[in-house]
Structure 1
Amino acid sequence: MKEDKESWLNFFQWLKSRGLTGVQLIIGDKSLGMLESIPEIFPNAKYQRCTVHFYRNIFSVTPKSKIKLVSKMLKGIHVSENKSAAREKARQVAAELRNMKLKEAAQKLEDGIEETITYMAFPYEHWNRIRTNNTIERLNREIRRRTKVVGTFPDGKSALMLVCARLRHVASSQWGVKRYLNMKHLENMNAIENEDMIVG
């Protein structure tokens, strides 16, 4: 799939046509095409920028010798107990980055922090699972690993069959064993928000 707006619009519309409803959060790696298409197809959904991709973006302007320290500092932001604490920690980290002569890293942090703490508006029990898109990235790596072994497929159908077989295996073994998210937490949060809207 291309990463342009039209491709994302088509993909999201296809998901909706297959019955996808109630989307509250979309996690991604800051693809501009995706960001532009979210409000059109899922106007009530919030966007969460993958924290891992965000860190990598900051590391791209950080000297190798300082990446470990900067990584620790960034992770300190995302273990905060709420958004205001995370914002305050981000301000402190940005100031420290400037003291370390890492102005570009500090600027990237300040420019992108809000997109990386969206998950904090959701149940705490979900935070570790919804702040990155690592799960889907891991699945994509597994599919690439399996298809690389084959090399060249005789046709698109055989490639699709291998990918589907791998997805079925993962769904029945890894994903089928334990629940990824307990949706009761989200249902309770939504019920409380709906009560507040009615009362307010």
Structure 2
Amino acid sequence: MVASIIRTAFTLPTAQEVNEQYSEVIKMLGSSHPKVVAMLRDAREDVLAFAGFPPRHWRKIWSTNPMERVNKKIKWRTNVVGVFPNPEALLRLAGAVLVEQHDEWEAGDRRYLSEGSMAELMAVDQQVSDLIGEKILLPELTAA
């Protein structure tokens, strides 16, 4: 029951509505589940971090599919090799898989976030920079 109440905050279309619903959830659970409310208050910034991105990105942020796919690819490659002569050999193979995946996401036909989608992030970065009066780069943009 508590989980379904909390999930209601993630079904809304705008960041403002998400924040308002999250506050409402905290109020609803206040008297019956004080430990859950304390946890939700402490984790608010982390739980609602996705709302700082354009709504178009939210589903991709929530999804663990890309991580699962990369882990599956690493597992498959290491199973093919079987036995590694030393830990460094395993690290080189896993690193090569990760580099290959990064290149595919960055420049391939199946980019994880499209160029148009990344342009939205750059626009958000520019708005934040204009608000605070200095140029910053959001961490997610420097990683991308």
TM-score normalised to structure 1 length = 0.47
Which blocks of at least 5 consecutive residues in structure 2 are unaligned?
A: 134-144
The aligned residue for residue 93 of structure 2 is 162
Once the two structures are superposed, residues 75-120 of structure 1 have per-residue CA deviations (whole angstroms, 9 ceiling, x without a partner) of 2212334444223212322233345x33212221122112222332
The aligned residue for residue 43 of structure 2 is 112
Q: Does 1:75 align with 2:7?
A: yes
Gap change, CA 1:159 and 1:179, over 3 Å in 2: same
Q: Which has the higher contact order (CA 8 A, sep 6+)?
A: 1
Q: Output the CA distance in 2 between the equivalents of 1:141 and 1:72.
A: 29
Q: Output the CA distance in 2 between the equivalents of 1:103 and 1:148.
A: 46
Q: Does 1:129 align with 2:45?
A: no
**Higher helix fraction (1 or 2):** 2
Read off the aligned partner of 1:145 and give its amino acid letter.
Answer: K
In the comparison of the two structures, how many residue pairs are matched? 127
Question: How many angstroms does 1:143 deviate by?
Answer: 6.0
Gap change, CA 1:197 and 1:158, over 3 Å in 2: closer
CA contact (8 A) 1:94 1:109 kept: yes
Q: Does 1:89 align with 2:24?
A: no
Q: Does 1:187 align with 2:122?
A: yes
Q: CA RMSD in A?
A: 3.4
Q: Output the CA distance in 1 between the equivalents of 2:82 and 2:100.
A: 21
Q: Output the CA distance in 1 between the equivalents of 2:97 and 2:131.
A: 44
Question: How many angstroms does 1:142 deviate by?
Answer: 2.6
TM-score normalised to structure 2 length = 0.61
Which blocks of at least 5 consecutive residues in structure 1 are unaligned?
A: 1-68
The aligned residue for residue 141 of structure 2 is none
Read off the aligned partner of 1:155 and give its amino acid letter.
Answer: N
Question: How many angstroms does 1:192 deviate by?
Answer: 4.5
